[in-house]
Structure formats: structure tokens, C-alpha cells
Amino acid sequence: MPETKTCTQCKKPFFIEPEDFDFYKKIDVLAPKLCPLCRARHRLSFRNERSFYRRACDKCKKVVISMYSPEKPYTVWCHDCWFSDDWNPLDYGRAYTPSRPFMEQFKAVWDSVPKVALVYIRSTNSEYTNISADSKNCYMIVESSNNENCTHCYWIQQCRDLVDVSFSHQTELSYESDDCYGCYGISWSRGGHDCRESAFLFDCRGVSNCVGCVNLRNSKYCIFNKPYSKEEYEKELQNFRLDTNSGVEAFREKFEKFLKTQPRKYAEIVQAPNSSGNYIKNAKNCKSCFHCYEAEDCKYNVHVWRNAKDCMDCDTTGRNAEMMYNTVNAGMDVSNQICCRMCWTCSFTEYCYYCFNANNCFGSVGVRKKDYCILNHEYSKEEYQTLREKIVASMKDAGNYGEFFPASVSTFGYNESAAMEQFPLSKEEALELGFKWEDFERGTFGKETISWAEIPDAIGDADQSLVEKIFACIDCKKNYRIIPDEFAFYKKLSVPLPRLCPDCRHARRFQARGPNYLHEGQCACRGTIGSGGYQNSVSHAHGDSPCGNAFETSLPGENLYCESCHNAEVA
């Protein structure tokens, strides 16, 4: 039977299932005191993904883009200085003192070791990327790996030639889209699988040359789900003028209205038996997971992917990750990590930060290609094992072994962390909960060198000189630029220049996905479904009465369907 606990932060009850206790026992940690949502919020407060600043490297003095604002009191080095071999993180090591709390000693090491401005590895011509690996010719992409020629993207894997795309895999030459797998040449779309040369799609599979379509399967030359001949389709498409800003915004309005008339599945779960959450594909036994694919036996995770197994309470882990608990951004052939932050290709590490190719480390920071380190001090294998057991015992006595780092360890303000997107708080609320706050203003305002009234509506009329201009976002008013490769991309795809800044474009896509937590819902299907006259309706056994099937969903709205009713409508 589940055991009921009261969260020590939000004071709400939560349940710990028997299989959760089995996992805690297996990895030998104490059961959590926080509920899953408070645990997630706490971890995310340590992760700055895309709040960037201009700051001079404290070593080479070069001005770079950094996760750390200029006013933060830490030593911050640029990527090249931090990853160079001319410094030794073990020089910052210190001996463990049994009379002092371990986390107090860890914080002393963490505060002293230089911070890296942006984190990326094995990348070419991609210095303006963060939390990324194996990139080539990429600019301002975050939480991504194995990509080429991509700009302003978030959480993309094995993709090429993208701008403003998020949560996508093996997708090419696409724009302003989200949750797309194996797609090519799509724009302004969500939930596309194996789609080609289309725009404004939602939950479509195997479609090509379609616009404004929802829930379509294996179709071509459709507009708002209505089939056309190739000649008719091309004529109508030309009339929409999707190469102009006015045409795109007019079509976006029509599409959003049409979308509300169509049934939406309660969650995007594809080939994932015994799984719950949203945006799950090719997974097994993944509970309360979001953006999860090619994973197995995972729970309370976000971004768990590419052969991840037996992971709990993790935010981004994959590429052969196994037995991971309460970690953030830990991936690429990792295993047996507990409460680590951004430790890549590491195994048997606990309470470590920014470690690479290190194993059997505890409470260490910035360690690379070293084993058996505690507080950045290297030990023999036997010495390490003995001391580790003493520290774990002391943390268990204090009741905090298995809890993530305390909020005082975080180097970021709550408002510049990923927590702000999922769990927004005011400054007063954040400070009351023990989080930090960043008051340094990001970006610039009022420095635009051209107004939108001076810019052609059609991308075909836009001049190359615009890459030298400064624009103002029509929403937040913050200034931004369009880089030459980005401008060439818009020309190639015949899409208009974006009037929103990259942050506002990201926020629009992010908000449309729904939050990464579940609430109870009920199927809205009542038998036949009106679909604007463009889609055949199906009668169900329950006639005109509600289906009544209950489910857990992260999505808002009143037109959510259970899987069986949704499949009857769209299959």
C-alpha cells in the first residue's frame, strides 16, 4: 500500500508507492521529504538554461556570453579557459571535517572553483550554445546534442537546418515547430511524426503538403482536413501568402479556431505501455514522465531519453543513463548517480557538480578524468570507500542523504532558472521559500535601429542589410538581432522575419505544450464529433452520453479524449 507523507515545503499530502521504496532501498537513500512537484521545482532552480549575459572571462579577460550575470561574486571563466588543461580542479580540494555539516563543506568548494560561462563539448563553430554536445554550426541552442546548422532551438536531437524548433528528433529544414519526429520542411506545427512540406499541423502522422490540419493520418494535399487536388491545393496555398507576416498571422488565427473544434488526445503517448505523463514515445514502464522516449522503468522525470533505464526524479538524463536519482543534466554513458548536477560520462558519483569522465566521486566540483575524489581531494580506492561511508552515515543521521543540494548552494536567481517557466513565483514568494533572485537586467531596450513599419511584409522583399539592424520585440519590447545564417534560412523557406524576440518565441512554444505535471480529467467524447464538415465522424457505443473514461493529463481544455475515443475519430 502507498504511504502518505506531508510535503515539508507545500504542506500538501503526497504518496510514496511500494515500488518507490524499493528503488530508494536499492540505491540506499532516505525517502524524500518533498512531494514530486516541490522536488522538481527545487532541482530546476539550479538550472539556468537560457538567461545569458555579457561578461568578461576572469582568466583571459575576453568578453563572452555567460550564464552568470556580471554582478555575481563568482570566478567565471570562458569555455576555452575552463576546459583547458592548464589548471587543476584538485588544487581547490580540502580534507573532510567530521565536525562540520557536509553540505557546508561542499559549498565552500563549490564557491571557490571557477564556474564555466557556457557548457558544451565536442562542438564545432558552436560557441554560443549551452548544455549541448556534438554540435556543428549551431547558434543559441540549449539542451541539445548531435545537431548541425540549427539556431534558437531547445532540446533537439540529431537534427539539421532548424530555426525556432523545440523538443524534436531527427527533423530537418523546419521552422517554429515543437514535438516533431522524423519531419522535413514543416513550419508552425506541433506533434508531427514523419511529415513533409507542410505548415500549421497538429498531431499529424505521415502527411505531406498539408496546411491547417489536425489529427490527420497518411494524407496529402489537405487544407483544414479537407482534401484537394494538387493543382487546387497549390492555388489555395498561394492565396494564403504564408511568405508574409500578415498572411501568417491571419492563418494562425483561423488555425487556432479550427483546432478548438477538433478532439485532442489527453496525452501524447505512442508505443509506451504502462506509462503516464505526456510526450512519450517508444518507452516502457515510465510513470509521470514528460518528454520521454526510448526509456524504460523511469518515474518523475522530464527529458529522459535515448536508452535511459531505472531513473527517478531526473531532469534531463539519457544517452545510456542507468540508475540515476535526483539529478539535473546528467547524461552520455552515465550510471549510479545520486544528487548530481551536470556530470557527463560519470559513474558512481554523488553530490557532484560539473564533473566529466570521472568515477567514484563524492561532493566534488569540476573534476575531469579523475577517480576517488571527495571535496576535490583525491584518495586511494580504500581510503575513498571508508570516508564515503562515514559521510553517508553522517548525512543519514542528519536526515538529508538523498535530498538535492540546499537552495543556498544554487548560483542562480529563481527568475533566471528553468523553475520560473514551470513554477512561476514573484520575487517575494521565491525569497520566502529560500530561493535567490537576480535583479540584474538582461538584454537592452530602446536601442532599435529600425521600426517594423519600415520592414517589408513579404520575406521576398526583405534586404540583406537587415542583419545589421536592431529590432524590438512586439511583445516584451526587448531588442534582438537576426544573424546572417538565420536570415538566409528565412529566405530559403520563404517565411517572414519574426516579430517576437527569441525568448518570447520560445515561451510561446513552451506554454502551448502544457505543464510537466498531471491532473485528473475525463473524456469529453459524446459520440459523433463535429469537425467543421471536413472529417468523417464516428458513432460510439455510448451514443450521445459522455464516454466517462477518466485519465491523468497535463493539458488544459475541455475537448480532451481518452485514447480509444480519439483513435476511433482519427485512425
- Which residues, 6 or more positions from 473, have their beta carbon under 8 angstroms from its beta carbon? 479, 480, 499, 500, 501, 503, 504
Torsions phi, psi for 410 (to 5 deg):
-60, 140
The continuous run of DSSP H or E covering 104 comes out as: helix 102-112
Q: Grid cell 549551452 — which residue? A: 130
pLDDT at 416 over 60: yes
Per-residue pLDDT tens for 300-316? Answer: 999 999 999 999 999 99
Under 8 Å between Cβ of 76 and 411: no
* Matching residue, cell 530602446: 446
pLDDT at 561: 95
Q: Would you give the distance in Å from CA 534 to the centre of its chain?
A: 35
Structure confidence at residue 571 (pLDDT): 62
Q: Strand locations in 363-402, DSSP E?
A: 371-374, 377-378
Give the burial class of 465: count Cβ atoms within 10 A of its Cβ; 0-12 exposed, 13-18 middle, 19 or more buried.
exposed
Opening angle at CA 196, ends 279 and 235, nearest 5: 130
Domain ranges of the chain: 3-33, 150-265, 452-512
pLDDT above 80: residue 5:
yes
Q: What digits encode the pLDDT tens for the residues 462-474?
A: 999 999 999 999 9
What average pLDDT score do residues 232-250 get?
Answer: 98
Residue-wise pLDDT tens digits, 502-517 = 999 999 999 999 999 9
| Contacts with 231 (C-beta within 8 Å, 6 or more apart), sequence order | none
Span 479-503, pLDDT tens digits? 999 999 999 999 999 999 999 999 9
User: Other C-beta atoms within 10 Å of 376: how many?
Assistant: 26
Task: Sort 559 into a burial class: Cβ within 10 Å, 0-12 / 13-18 / 19+.
Answer: middle
Q: pLDDT at position 181, please?
A: 95
CA distance readout (Å), 80 to 86, 172, 329:
11, 30, 21
* Confidence class for position 542, pLDDT limits 50, 70, 90: very low
Q: What is the pLDDT of residues 326-372, one digit of tens each?
A: 999 998 999 999 999 999 999 999 999 999 999 999 999 999 999 99
SS3 220: strand
Rounded percentage of the chain residues whose pLDDT exceeds 90: 94
pTM of the model: 0.94
What is the pLDDT at residue 545? Answer: 63
Cell of 158: 540529431
Mean of the per-residue pLDDT values of the chain: 95
Q: Tens of pLDDT along 518-538?
A: 999 999 998 654 433 333 333
H or E stretch covering 246: helix 245-260
Find the distance separating the first CA and the last CA of the chain, reported in whole Å: 38
- The 10s digit of each residue's pLDDT in 34-52 is 999 999 999 999 999 999 9
